Every structure is written in structure tokens, then in C-alpha cells.
Amino acid sequence: MIRVLVTDGMEKSAIKELKAKGFEVVQEFYEADILGEKLKDFDVIVVRSATKLRQPVIDKAVGAGRLKLIIRGGVGVDNIDVAYAIENGIKVTNTPNASSASVAELAIAHMFAVSRFINISNVAMRQGIWDKKKYVGVEIAGKILGLVGFGRISRELAKKATALGMKVIYTDIVGKVNDCDEYEFFELDDLLKKADYVSLHIPFIKKHGATIGKDQLDMMKEGAFLINCARGGVVDEAALVEALDSGKLAGAGVDVFVEEPTRNEELVNHPKVSVTPHIGAATAEAQTRIGTEITSIILEYFK
């Protein structure tokens, strides 16, 4: 029997379908020092962001020769040593289509939150404070949204932002995208100087460090907003707090952090910041789509 280990949870209907198709599904989270040994008894592992599949874990699995497939439920695979797994005969894949709409909607939610003080006024009112005159915000219609990275999530966000009356510009490591002429391409530095809102949709590459640090924040417009629903680490958190304190940035929406769960109380409690605990794909619809896509990948691989 083909055995599937699900370490970070999966939609119930997807698990039910796999079991109905004859797969054994085990739902259990293991710390890294134990995970490698456990993987000797599984053909597939399904992870989200909590489980880290680094070289030492992969080495133990490879030694047994059973593990054939690693599936990341979601988009980013920075918690997996992908190249090393592939070199050792293990296929690595993700579910890139499933959560695009959900993450795009969360980015917009953060944009509204910091533009209209929803984040801080919500807290103040619960404390009995009526600061109506203090919360004079800005409209997002007519503003320029700069997208850093132009993959599936960015394109979904571009469509939604355009419908809300924003002008969308973008940058991407591959350069200008041929089939998106309705949006204007800029190099990163020029985009940062031009955009009223900057939303990040790029992976974190540890050896490269933060994509948005002090120098990049200094380039941004006075009173601009930064949204990060991509990956912790792509923004220098200390530099971001400094930019908010100085008034360089009017606000920031943050769903992802360098350390998760984050212990950066200065950032989380900042009055100009709207924060969520890495919930970009946490909608019922996205979870259903992720589960369906994972099931399809497994069934296709073992057909």
C-alpha cells in the first residue's frame, strides 16, 4: 500500500478521497530530528510551511529508498531543499493555482486596513476610545500599485486592483511579460519611486537576504504603503519599523515574518501596521482547491 504522510494538515475531503482510492494517509507533525526516520516508511509527504525538509532529513529518507514525492500545499517551496531532493530522485511539486485568489484578496484587505486606519481604530474602539477626527485616510482608487514579482498571485491582484480603480505597474526578475500589455513594466528601483502602494510577491532566497531593505525603503514615495503577503525575510523588519517611525511610510500590511510565530512585538504592535499570522491561503475555498490539487498530483503520479 502507498503511504502518504501529511504533516501540516490537509482538507478532509481530499484525505477521504485518497483513502477511498486505496492510499494509507497518516496525519502527524514531526520535528526535523524525527522526521527523517519516519520518512523511511512513506512514499509521499505533503507539507505546508511549518515542516522543513532540509538536506539532513532528505538524506535519511533517501537512505531507505522509499520516498518518491514531496508536495508543498501552497506556492512557496523555500522550506524544502528542492534541488537536493530532485538530485536524489525525489520529485518535488507544489499547488501554484489553488491559493492565488485568497492571497490577492488578503493583500487588498491589508491595503484597505492601513489606508483607512481599520487596523488601529478597531483596537482603539474596543478600548473605549472614539478618535474619529484622528483617522483621516486615503482612497486607493486612482493610486499606483507596484507589484514586485509578477506570477499568478500578482496577476490576480492586478485584476482586482484595476477593478478598484488603481493603476498597476510591475517588476519581475524575468523582465517584461509579453501577455500583460495592460500593465506597465519598470525596473525595481523605478517602481519603488513611482508606486503609492508596493505589494511583494517574491520568494525569499536566504543567500540573497532581504529584497526590501533600508536603501529600497528610502527610494519609496513619502507616505507610501508596503504590503508583504509573500515570505518573511524579503523585507528587513528593522528597516521597515524605522521607515514607519520616521513617517517615510504611511503604513504596512504584513502577513509573513522572518520568524514564525513572530516575536517582533515592535512590528506587530506598531500603530501603522496591519498584521495577520500568515493566513494568505487560509480560506475555505483555497483549502478545498489545495486539497483537490494535491489529490490530483498523487493520483497522476501513481496511476
User: How is the chain split into domains, by residue range?
Assistant: 3-96+283-301, 100-275
pLDDT of residue 206: 84
pTM: 0.89
Residue 58: CB atoms within 10 Å: 22
Q: Which of 97, 108, 52, 57 is closest to 77 using CA atoms?
A: 52
SS3 116: coil
Residues acting as catalytic residues? 231, 260, 278
Q: How many CA atoms lie within 13 A of 188 on its CB side?
A: 16
pLDDT higher than threshold 90 for residue 179:
no
Q: What is the mean pLDDT of residues 14-39?
A: 96
204-260: pLDDT as tens digits: 988 889 999 999 999 999 999 999 999 999 999 999 999 999 999 999 999 999 999
CATH class of domain segment(s) 3-96+283-301: alpha beta
pLDDT of residue 49: 85
Strands 3-6 and 24-27: parallel
Q: What is the mean pLDDT of residues 17-26?
A: 97
pLDDT higher than threshold 90 for residue 75:
no
pLDDT higher than threshold 90 for residue 80:
yes
Residue 245: CB atoms within 10 Å: 12
CATH class of domain segment(s) 100-275: alpha beta
Average pLDDT, the chain: 96
Cα–Cα distance measured from residue 129 to residue 119, given in angstroms and rounded to the nearest whole number: 14
